[in-house]
Amino acid sequence: MPVVIGVVIDRAVATGDLGELATWGGVLVALFVVLSYSYRFGARLGVGALELETHLLRVEVSEHVLGADGARTGLLPGETLSLATSDAETIGRFLWHVGYTLAGLVGVLVSAIVLIRIDLTIGIVVLLGVPLVLAVIQVVTPLIARHTSDQQAGIAKATGIATDLVKGLRPLKGVGAEDVATSRYRTHSASARDASIRTARSMGYMFGLTATLSGLFLALVAYLAGTRALDGTISIGELIAIVGLTQFLAEPITGLGETSAQAASSFASARRVVDFLHTPALVAYGSTTLDDPRPELAMTRLTSDPLQELDVSPRGGELLGIVVDETTSSDQLVRLLRSEVLPEDRTGSLTLGGHPVDELTIDALRSRVVVSQHHVDLFEGTLRSTIDPDGAFDDAALDEILVASAARDVVDLHADGLDQPVTAGAATFSGGQRQRIALARALATRAPILVLAEPTSAVDAMTEQRIADGIQALRHSAGSDLTTIVITSSPAILASAERVLLISKGRIIATGTHHELAHQDAYREAVLR
């Protein structure tokens, strides 16, 4: 634009040529139209690219943690949410600045070529000065990257704690710990605030340095152009073009400086996302598939600290009870059955259908072995969609599952029955209700091998007996070949089991029925404590 204005002055205004005035006036109008529509469509493309990239990053983060193989991240849910929102948006904004960076570089290059054609000295000053200004600005960039990384980590931690605080508000109030939890959140929130202030201060340093250096540089260019005009080396139109280009260059130079700051922020967030995406899978798996719909599960001399040399082979159609006297041993057994950890001693094995579980595909393993852990996640929706997410059962079949899990009471307490809403984490239900809903969901899988870890720890003795009878009736009626493994200390469930194993200090020390083992002190201590 400044160049065209300079040409209009030299060829039309200074000469008084109406034809040239009309011609270059038309060029000026056409140039305005091109610039206007270029920005309109360019901005649309830029915003589209930014939003698409942010969306793809959110999906990638979500798939990593919610995929069938899971992710061993060690992050709180709120921290993962921060990666999928705040960090993804920070990375996406980099694309927007890339467009401006390329445009700024082209603008500076074209301006330098024009200036060289007008005056060689001024053109060389621009070509050398712009990179020098940008190089000096880069001194602040590492500071911005470090502070941005601290800021994003602080925000993620505070978000994670806030999420846990809201989810656990009821039990916190129950034990009078809300003040302690609030104080903990306040500390992390203050840390995130301080990190944000440090980041803003670094950005301020960068913007101030950019404005100062670019202002001094552009003043130098304007001074050189003014002296050339005074001694007659350049025309009035060329002077106007140089001054206009000098003013124009302020924007791309500033934009290039801002891009370096945005790049530092984006790369800090990108590093966090990359570290997250490189976290190992929760489940070890391979490529072997299974043809047998009812394969046998077998543990042979299985060792995985603290478990030692376990030999467990549940029979088809059996309800097997396992009593474990230590929580660490119980948790490790569940992780082994979920294929989250592998046997340490390769002479021992955990196989399904004769194949080590870590050699099977996830689909082959999950379609035959379902493990319902003690702590489960219930998702937002309705009670029906929570228990039967695929809509595979009619009301009669669902009623059998609800009776077996003692969850019929939960359904009957609400006017909407199975269509009553379930909030995220089922926070509106009590611990016992959530446990029964989770059990109903597990029973609804009709898995050939179902592993239940402490499924009745939050219910009363009467409900516990109903659940024991329900599991027996639903999965182990005459002719059934479904296998159920229950890791529990519930006498009601153990009494209905065909066989019970007692694991103490990581080893199987006794096998028999509940009534046979009830005569042993170690068993009574584990079950009746």
Higher pLDDT, 262 or 159: 262
Q: 362: Cβ–Cβ under 8 A, 6 or more apart, which residues?
A: 68, 69, 283, 285
Higher pLDDT, 399 or 177: 399
Residue 412: inside a domain: yes
Residue 36: inside a domain: no
Q: Please give the full DSSP string across 170-194, using - where no structure is assigned.
A: HHHHHTT-HHHHHHHHHHHHHHHHH
Long-range contacts of 45-54 (CB under 8 A, 24+ apart): 45/99, 46/95, 46/96, 46/99, 47/96, 49/95, 49/96, 49/99, 50/92, 50/93, 50/95, 50/96, 51/92, 53/91, 53/92, 53/95, 54/88, 54/89, 54/91, 54/92
pTM: 0.66
Average pLDDT over residues 353-366: 90
Write the CATH number for 367: 3.40.50.300
| Residue where the block lists tokens 């945005």 | 262
Average pLDDT over residues 394-419: 92
- Range of weakest confidence among 251-265, 304-318, 465-479: 251-265
| Whether residues 302 and 394 fall in one domain | yes
Euclidean distance between CA atoms 160 and 164, whole angstroms = 6
Is pLDDT above 70 for 257?
A: no
Is pLDDT above 70 for 317?
A: yes
Residue 22: inside a domain: no
| Whether residues 62 and 114 fall in one domain | yes
Best mean pLDDT range from 221-225, 339-343, 489-493: 489-493
| Whether residues 129 and 211 fall in one domain | yes
Euclidean distance between CA atoms 54 and 58, whole angstroms = 6
Average pLDDT over residues 263-288: 86
| Whether residues 303 and 254 fall in one domain | no
Euclidean distance between CA atoms 400 and 421, whole angstroms = 21
| Whether residues 56 and 200 fall in one domain | yes
Higher pLDDT, 290 or 221: 290
Is pLDDT above 60 for 145?
A: no
**Mean residue pLDDT across the chain:** 85
Is pLDDT above 60 for 90?
A: yes
**Domain finish residue from 211, 244, 277:** 277
DSSP 390: T
List pLDDT tens digits, range 232-252: 888 888 888 877 887 777 777
| Whether residues 267 and 303 fall in one domain | no
Average pLDDT over residues 182-197: 78
List pLDDT tens digits, range 443-453: 999 999 999 99
Is pLDDT above 70 for 52?
A: yes
Higher pLDDT, 297 or 282: 297
Q: How confident is the model at residue 172 (pLDDT cuts 50, 70, 90)?
A: low
Write the CATH number for 259: 1.20.1560.10
CA distances from 190 to 81, 181, 186, 264 (A): 20, 14, 6, 23
Q: 434: Cβ–Cβ under 8 A, 6 or more apart, which residues?
A: 376, 378, 426, 458
Q: How confident is the model at residue 166 (pLDDT cuts 50, 70, 90)?
A: low
| Whether residues 361 and 493 fall in one domain | yes
- Rounded (to 5) percent helix, strand, coil in the chain: 65, 10, 25
Euclidean distance between CA atoms 69 and 282, whole angstroms = 6
Best mean pLDDT range from 113-127, 128-142, 174-188: 113-127
Residue 496: inside a domain: yes
Average pLDDT over residues 126-152: 68
| Whether residues 416 and 513 fall in one domain | yes
Is pLDDT above 70 for 165?
A: no
Is pLDDT above 70 for 352?
A: yes
Q: What's the domain count of the chain?
A: 2
Residue 13: inside a domain: no
Closest CA to 147 of 261, 254, 58, 259: 261
Residue 37: inside a domain: no
| Whether residues 319 and 260 fall in one domain | no
Is pLDDT above 60 for 521?
A: yes
Q: What does the longest C-alpha to C-alpha distance in the chain come to?
A: 118
Higher pLDDT, 261 or 266: 266
| Whether residues 330 and 201 fall in one domain | no
pLDDT of residue 26: 93
Is pLDDT above 80 for 143?
A: no
pLDDT of residue 14: 83
Is pLDDT above 80 for 5?
A: yes
**Domain finish residue from 243, 277, 311:** 277
Residue 210: inside a domain: yes
| Whether residues 241 and 145 fall in one domain | yes
| Residue where the block lists tokens 């993804």 | 88
Residue 342: inside a domain: yes
What whole-number percentage of the chain has pLDDT above 90? 36
Distance between start and end Cα atoms, the chain: 87
Is pLDDT above 70 for 142?
A: no
Under 8 Å between Cβ of 88 and 58: yes
pLDDT of residue 34: 93
β-pairing, 319-324 with 483-487? parallel
Measured from the Cβ of residue 465, the count of other Cβ atoms closer than 10 Å reads 19
**Domain finish residue from 248, 277, 306:** 277
Closest CA to 294 of 348, 251, 353: 353
Is pLDDT above 70 for 11?
A: yes
Long-range contacts of 170-174 (CB under 8 A, 24+ apart): 170/427
Give me the domain span that covers residue 468. Answer: 297-527
| Whether residues 169 and 229 fall in one domain | yes
Under 8 Å between Cβ of 412 and 356: no
pLDDT of residue 146: 62
Under 8 Å between Cβ of 319 and 471: yes
Q: Pick left, alpha or beta for residue 215 (phi over 0 → left; psi -120 to 50 → alpha; otherwise beta).
A: alpha
